[in-house]
Amino acid sequence: MFQGASALNLDAKGRMSIPAKHRDALNVQCEGRVTLTRHPHGCLLLFPRPTWEAHREQIAAWPMAARAWQRILLGNACDVEMDGNGRILVAPELRNAVGLQRDVMVLGMGSHFEIWDAAKLAENEAEAMAGGMPEALSNFSF
């Protein structure tokens, strides 16, 4: 299970270091082979390749009515591998699609990661907090 937030920087070539706390797990789980794709909420998703392959099969089986969503998720998927320094290259098309600049946040979301432009994530979280707890979580308590 991947969890936690990491503040990172994209270098001039669009490379991003995988947080050190997750590198070993990704090397064991998928030999550093991951897949990046777009999320409609304005971030990128990073999956270990075996996890992505299971999702890819499900997405490919969606009905024609979901074709636009297939394009977003499958049409933007990009297989990448960690280099010897634990970095991945984020394709310019993906960076541009979600507005990734230099400062990024990587959030562990259990089976995968979300990669956000840091300013966009802060704005998104502020809006969520201002909107209050959604009804679906009304019975949730710590």
One digit per residue, the tens of pLDDT, for the chain of length 142 reads 899 999 999 999 999 999 999 999 999 999 999 999 999 999 999 999 999 999 999 999 999 999 999 999 999 999 999 999 999 999 999 999 999 999 999 999 999 999 999 999 999 999 999 998 888 888 888 8
* Tokens standing for residue 40: 């409609």
Enter the pTM of the model.
0.93
Q: Give CA separation, 69 vs 2, 46, 50, 61, 140, in Å.
A: 25, 17, 21, 12, 30
Distance in angstroms (rounded) separating the CA atoms of residues 81 and 87: 8
